Chain A
């Protein structure tokens, strides 16, 4: 059996009393894997542990068969792009990528830098100081610096932050191309659609724990099972609540102190379709219909609590 590119085994990481990663285990094989989770979920800490920037408080991390903390040679085969915007602002883009190539002991650093810069469509701006770049341009030049040494494994922390739509598409194509060449790419994001478009496999992290893993269809299915709260403000809340409770698509209904109706449903789309007709038949005027917990964070929380 082939050794996975990344093996995370019962890893925890804590800083004082703060537990950033809690007993997480998974393996990553060749191809693109998305690390999905809300802000503060522990994605960056996990990527640091995998990249060798941090040591696990407990458990072990193996990357390309070695320990990324102690095996310096393994870093020749890993490219890391951090989430931080800061970089060597005093250099121009070309020098920054060349520096990354030299630090990874690439024999022809200039040629490698030129190729990487072309791949991220930064050739025109490569002579400008990095300090003058927009956030999206910084992300692209940092990506070039991350893969200038042709690594087998790319670790990318929120790489699409600040990218405009055109470069987002180009970036996705580039990652797919790199993956098709046999690389392993681990890319983090807090946006489900972003990960869906990039990765065939998704690791879902919430509150430092691995909440779910699988292909994005499985993650979508898990999300679709979730019940949603919907608030309805109308002219006759009690009558509407009595009618709503009869619907198969509604799990429960409550009338609040303010006279609003809060329903719980696993099929919000069906409720949205039937609600206007129901209100019309009962001669009830709807003032507002609003999902209460539509934020990504609440979705993630649901998956963890399941």
Chain B
């Protein structure tokens, strides 16, 4: 398992991909700095709405996941090297799990550090109480969100030759567009599970936007179903697919 993990990290940690991830995760600092020094200063609800929901959960998190998870299997399928892993005695979970861990390893540091730093920065600049807890809750929730998105995009990389397009459709059409107009979609949205987990870890978050955020039970249950469900779909796909 270690061999596949190390190989996958090396495959995913290309210079350009890391630079893009860093740039993406650094951008919210500018928003945090601008918001923190604005007059009149933003309220905690505004920060939750714009920085946590609008920027991190809706854009940066899914894009980071797309960048690290879709190529984890997708590249090996397109260059026809996946057989090197599948035509071995290893059970399929010992192929899929290191791939997921590698994607999270490459994506998480910038994402978690960026979320933690930007939330801390804006809370300190305004200033608002509970900065440390707010930043920790947001960073941990983003890490969970990254695992969930990555599991889904890992599967997408196995079932289609255009996983990026499928992922973008899910993120921006299903969650972004439909999720805005159809209230029930929040129960089928990784973004909403992530925000629900933020609130679970720090109850004072999203207090002004209560109706938009899932409760703890629904968020944790939804996250567990997505992780387990798509994890099983990845294994099923590996078992049934014809490897090029």
Chain A residues in contact with chain B, CB under 8 A? Answer: 48, 51-55, 72-76, 78, 80, 82, 84, 86-88, 90-91, 99-100, 102-105, 145
Cβ-defined contact, A53 with B87, below 8 A: yes
CB within 8 Å: A-B pair count: 61
Cβ-defined contact, B89 with A54, below 8 A: no
Q: How far is the CA of A103 from the CA of B84 in the complex (A)?
A: 8
Cβ-defined contact, A55 with B88, below 8 A: no
Contacts of A54 in B (CB 8 A): 242-243
**How many residues of B are counted as interface, with CB atoms below 8 angstroms from the partner's CB atoms?**
22
User: Which residues in chain B, 48-94, are within 8 Å of chain A measured between CB atoms?
Assistant: 79-81, 83-91
Closest to A53 in B: B243
Q: How far is the CA of A73 from the CA of B88 in the complex (A)?
A: 8
Closest to B86 in A: A53
B 216-228 to A, binary, CB cutoff 8 A, 1 in contact else 0: 0000000000000
6 more CB-based (< 8 A) A-B contacts, given A53-B244, A72-B89, A102-B2: A48-B243, A78-B87, A80-B83, A84-B80, A87-B84, A103-B4
Known: A86-B81, A88-B7. A55 touches B87 (CB 8 A): no
Pick the most buried of B83, B87, B91, B242: most chain A CB atoms within 10 A of its CB.
Answer: B87
**Nearest 10 Cβ contacts at the A-B interface:** A54-B242, A102-B3, A76-B89, A53-B243, A103-B88, A86-B79, A84-B80, A75-B89, A80-B87, A72-B89
Q: How far is the CA of A91 from the CA of B11 in the complex (A)?
A: 10
Whether, in the assembled complex, B39 has its beta carbon less than 8 Å from a beta carbon of chain A, the answer is no
Among candidates A52, A72, A88, residue contacting B84 with C-beta atoms closer than 8 Å: A88
Contacts of A72 in B (CB 8 A): 89-91
Whether, in the assembled complex, B211 has its beta carbon less than 8 Å from a beta carbon of chain A, the answer is no
**What is the CB-to-nearest-CB distance from A56 to chain B, in angstroms, rounded to a whole number?**
10
**What is the CB-to-nearest-CB distance from A55 to chain B, in angstroms, rounded to a whole number?**
7
Cβ-defined contact, B84 with A75, below 8 A: no
A-B CB contact pairs (8 Å), 22 listed: A51-B87, A52-B87, A53-B87, A53-B244, A75-B87, A75-B88, A75-B89, A76-B89, A78-B87, A82-B80, A82-B83, A84-B81, A86-B79, A86-B81, A88-B11, A88-B81, A91-B7, A102-B3, A103-B88, A104-B88, A105-B89, A105-B90
**What is the CB-to-nearest-CB distance from B239 to chain A, in angstroms, rounded to a whole number?**
8
Chain B residues in contact with chain A, CB under 8 A? Answer: 2-4, 7, 10-11, 79-81, 83-91, 240, 242-244
Pick the most buried of A48, A53, A78, A84: most chain B CB atoms within 10 A of its CB.
Answer: A53
Contacts of B85 in A (CB 8 A): 103
Q: How far is the CA of A87 from the CA of B79 in the complex (A)?
A: 8
Contacts of B10 in A (CB 8 A): 90
Cβ-defined contact, B88 with A53, below 8 A: no
Q: How far is the CA of A91 from the CA of B4 in the complex (A)?
A: 13
Closest to A45 in B: B242
Contacts of A82 in B (CB 8 A): 80, 83
Closest to A55 in B: B242
Q: How far is the CA of A48 from the CA of B244 in the complex (A)?
A: 8
Q: How far is the CA of A86 from the CA of B76 in the complex (A)?
A: 10
Closest to A15 in B: B242
**What is the CB-to-nearest-CB distance from B5 to chain A, in angstroms, rounded to a whole number?**
11
Closest to A99 in B: B3
Contacts of B79 in A (CB 8 A): 84, 86
Contacts of A52 in B (CB 8 A): 87
Contacts of A48 in B (CB 8 A): 242-243
Q: How far is the CA of A87 from the CA of B81 in the complex (A)?
A: 6
Q: How far is the CA of A53 from the CA of B242 in the complex (A)?
A: 6
**What is the CB-to-nearest-CB distance from B96 to chain A, in angstroms, rounded to a whole number?**
14
Among candidates A80, A90, A99, A103, residue contacting B90 with C-beta atoms closer than 8 Å: A103
Contacts of A102 in B (CB 8 A): 2-3
Q: How far is the CA of A91 from the CA of B85 in the complex (A)?
A: 15
Q: How far is the CA of A131 from the CA of B90 in the complex (A)?
A: 26
